[in-house]
């Protein structure tokens, strides 16, 4: 058979290490995506809190708004 070459078989340990690397890479990618989503959500929450602070002229009003949000 022309053009075919024999590829040495990997040992069980080599296959296990290779697969572990693949799955670890996928897990790390998933963790990075989840971390980015959490950071984006926290940033949005922070922006909303900043907006609430700007909209309330007194500490009493701000506490009323926070209490209202916590009661929901």
* C-alpha pair distances (Å), 17 with each of 8, 27, 30, 43: 16, 15, 20, 38
Within a domain: residue 3? no
Q: Is the pTM of this model over 0.75?
A: no
Question: Residue 53 falls within a domain, yes or no?
Answer: yes
- Residue 38 falls within a domain, yes or no? yes
Residue 4 lies in a domain: no
Is 5 part of a structural domain of the chain? no
Q: 12-58: per-residue pLDDT in tens?
A: 888 788 878 877 778 788 888 888 888 888 888 778 877 777 777 77
d(CA 69, CA 51): 14
Domain range holding 29?
Answer: 12-71
Counting the structural domains of the chain, the total is: 1
Could you tell me if 41 and 33 are in contact, meaning their C-beta atoms sit under 8 angstroms apart?
no
Look at residue 47 and tell me if it is in a domain: yes
Q: Is 23 among the domain residues?
A: yes
The predicted-structure confidence for 28-37, as pLDDT tens digits, reads as follows: 888 888 888 8
């Amino acid at each position: 058979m022309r053009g075919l070459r024999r590829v040495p078989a990997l040992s069980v340990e080599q296959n296990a290490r290779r697969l572990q690397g693949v799955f670890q890479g996928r897990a790390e990618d998933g963790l990075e995506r989840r971390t980015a989503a959490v950071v984006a959500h926290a940033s949005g929450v922070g922006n909303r809190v900043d907006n609430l602070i700007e909209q309330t002229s007194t500490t009493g009003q701000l506490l009323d708004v926070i209490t209202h949000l916590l009661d929901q």
